[in-house]
Protein backbone atom coordinates (compact mmCIF):
# COMPACT_ATOMS: atom_id res chain seq x y z
CA UNK A 1 0.00 0.00 0.00
CA UNK A 2 1.45 3.44 -0.90
CA UNK A 3 2.23 5.87 1.86
CA UNK A 4 -0.13 8.83 2.08
CA UNK A 5 1.37 12.09 3.23
CA UNK A 6 -0.35 15.43 3.51
CA UNK A 7 1.54 18.15 5.36
CA UNK A 8 -0.75 19.87 7.81
CA UNK A 9 -0.49 23.42 8.99
CA UNK A 10 -1.03 24.73 12.50
CA UNK A 11 -4.50 25.01 14.01
CA UNK A 12 -5.60 27.77 16.38
CA UNK A 13 -8.44 26.91 18.75
CA UNK A 14 -10.54 29.20 20.91
CA UNK A 15 -13.83 28.33 22.61
CA UNK A 16 -14.41 25.36 20.29
CA UNK A 17 -13.69 27.30 17.08
CA UNK A 18 -10.76 25.98 15.03
CA UNK A 19 -8.81 28.07 12.54
CA UNK A 20 -6.68 25.86 10.30
CA UNK A 21 -3.73 27.42 8.48
CA UNK A 22 -1.90 26.06 5.46
CA UNK A 23 1.65 24.96 5.99
CA UNK A 24 3.59 28.12 5.13
CA UNK A 25 6.81 27.58 3.23
CA UNK A 26 9.55 30.18 2.96
CA UNK A 27 8.72 30.61 -0.74
CA UNK A 28 5.05 31.27 0.16
CA UNK A 29 6.09 33.80 2.75
CA UNK A 30 8.54 35.54 0.41
CA UNK A 31 5.84 35.89 -2.26
CA UNK A 32 3.30 37.19 0.27
CA UNK A 33 5.78 39.72 1.65
CA UNK A 34 6.71 40.96 -1.82
CA UNK A 35 3.07 41.28 -2.89
CA UNK A 36 2.03 43.04 0.34
CA UNK A 37 5.07 45.19 1.10
CA UNK A 38 3.82 48.61 2.19
CA UNK A 39 7.16 50.17 1.20
CA UNK A 40 7.42 48.76 -2.32
CA UNK A 41 6.97 52.23 -3.87
CA UNK A 42 9.92 53.67 -1.93
CA UNK A 43 13.45 53.90 -3.28
CA UNK A 44 15.86 51.08 -2.56
CA UNK A 45 17.76 53.28 -0.10
CA UNK A 46 14.59 54.22 1.77
CA UNK A 47 13.52 50.57 1.98
CA UNK A 48 16.94 49.51 3.29
CA UNK A 49 16.76 52.22 5.96
CA UNK A 50 13.26 51.12 6.99
CA UNK A 51 14.31 47.46 7.15
CA UNK A 52 17.26 48.42 9.34
CA UNK A 53 14.92 50.28 11.70
CA UNK A 54 12.75 47.16 11.86
CA UNK A 55 15.76 44.91 12.58
CA UNK A 56 16.88 47.34 15.29
CA UNK A 57 13.44 47.23 16.90
CA UNK A 58 12.80 50.91 16.15
CA UNK A 59 9.53 50.51 14.27
CA UNK A 60 8.15 53.65 15.94
CA UNK A 61 10.69 55.73 13.99
CA UNK A 62 9.25 54.71 10.61
CA UNK A 63 7.33 57.52 8.95
CA UNK A 64 4.46 55.93 7.01
CA UNK A 65 2.53 57.59 4.23
CA UNK A 66 -1.26 57.23 4.69
CA UNK A 67 -1.29 54.52 1.98
CA UNK A 68 1.59 52.62 3.61
CA UNK A 69 -0.16 52.82 6.96
CA UNK A 70 -3.34 51.28 5.50
CA UNK A 71 -1.39 48.48 3.80
CA UNK A 72 0.55 47.81 7.00
CA UNK A 73 -2.61 47.60 9.12
CA UNK A 74 -4.23 45.19 6.66
CA UNK A 75 -1.14 42.99 6.23
CA UNK A 76 -1.85 40.42 8.95
CA UNK A 77 -5.58 40.04 8.17
CA UNK A 78 -4.51 39.62 4.51
CA UNK A 79 -2.01 36.99 5.65
CA UNK A 80 -4.87 35.13 7.34
CA UNK A 81 -7.05 35.42 4.23
CA UNK A 82 -4.21 34.00 2.13
CA UNK A 83 -3.15 31.14 4.42
CA UNK A 84 -6.23 30.01 6.38
CA UNK A 85 -7.68 26.81 4.98
CA UNK A 86 -10.87 26.71 7.03
CA UNK A 87 -12.58 27.97 10.16
CA UNK A 88 -14.69 25.31 11.84
CA UNK A 89 -17.37 25.71 14.52
CA UNK A 90 -17.81 29.43 13.87
CA UNK A 91 -21.02 31.00 15.15
CA UNK A 92 -22.59 34.42 14.93
CA UNK A 93 -23.59 36.34 18.08
CA UNK A 94 -26.94 34.49 18.17
CA UNK A 95 -24.99 31.19 18.17
CA UNK A 96 -26.11 30.30 14.65
CA UNK A 97 -23.47 28.35 12.71
CA UNK A 98 -21.58 30.23 10.01
CA UNK A 99 -20.06 28.39 7.05
CA UNK A 100 -16.74 30.19 6.72
CA UNK A 101 -16.09 28.92 3.21
CA UNK A 102 -19.29 30.61 2.00
CA UNK A 103 -18.29 34.05 3.28
CA UNK A 104 -16.98 36.48 0.69
CA UNK A 105 -13.41 37.76 1.01
CA UNK A 106 -14.54 41.11 2.41
CA UNK A 107 -16.36 39.40 5.29
CA UNK A 108 -13.40 37.09 5.89
CA UNK A 109 -11.09 40.11 6.07
CA UNK A 110 -13.41 41.79 8.55
CA UNK A 111 -13.44 38.60 10.64
CA UNK A 112 -9.64 38.31 10.66
CA UNK A 113 -9.17 42.04 11.26
CA UNK A 114 -11.48 41.98 14.30
CA UNK A 115 -9.93 38.80 15.69
CA UNK A 116 -6.32 39.84 15.05
CA UNK A 117 -6.67 43.25 16.70
CA UNK A 118 -8.86 42.08 19.61
CA UNK A 119 -7.14 38.85 20.70
CA UNK A 120 -3.54 38.89 21.92
CA UNK A 121 -3.52 35.09 21.84
CA UNK A 122 -4.60 34.94 18.17
CA UNK A 123 -2.17 37.74 17.26
CA UNK A 124 0.71 35.83 18.88
CA UNK A 125 -0.35 32.67 17.05
CA UNK A 126 -0.54 34.39 13.64
CA UNK A 127 2.84 36.03 14.20
CA UNK A 128 4.30 32.61 15.04
CA UNK A 129 2.74 31.11 11.90
CA UNK A 130 4.08 33.96 9.78
CA UNK A 131 7.56 33.70 11.23
CA UNK A 132 7.47 29.91 10.83
CA UNK A 133 9.01 29.57 14.25
CA UNK A 134 8.79 26.03 15.58
CA UNK A 135 10.16 27.34 18.86
CA UNK A 136 7.21 29.74 19.20
CA UNK A 137 4.72 26.94 18.48
CA UNK A 138 6.39 24.77 21.11
CA UNK A 139 6.29 27.56 23.68
CA UNK A 140 2.62 28.28 22.88
CA UNK A 141 1.69 24.59 23.21
CA UNK A 142 3.24 24.55 26.67
CA UNK A 143 1.22 27.59 27.87
pLDDT in tens, the chain (143 residues): 677 666 678 999 998 999 999 988 889 988 998 898 999 999 999 999 998 998 898 988 999 999 999 998 899 999 999 999 999 999 988 889 999 999 999 999 999 999 999 999 999 999 888 887 544 444 444 44
The rounded radius of gyration (Å) of the Cα atoms in the chain is: 17
pLDDT at 67: 93
The per-residue pLDDT for 133 is: 56
The pLDDT value given to residue 137: 47
Looking only at the bridges linking them, the beta strands covering 17-21 and 84-88 are: antiparallel
CA distances from 126 to 6, 131, 139 (A): 21, 8, 14
**Could you tell me if 21 and 10 are in contact, meaning their C-beta atoms sit under 8 angstroms apart?**
yes
Amino acid sequence: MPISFEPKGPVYTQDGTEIEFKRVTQADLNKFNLDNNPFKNRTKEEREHIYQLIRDGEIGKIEYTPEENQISLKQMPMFCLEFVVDVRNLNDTAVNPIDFKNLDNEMKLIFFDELYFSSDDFRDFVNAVKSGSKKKFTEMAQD
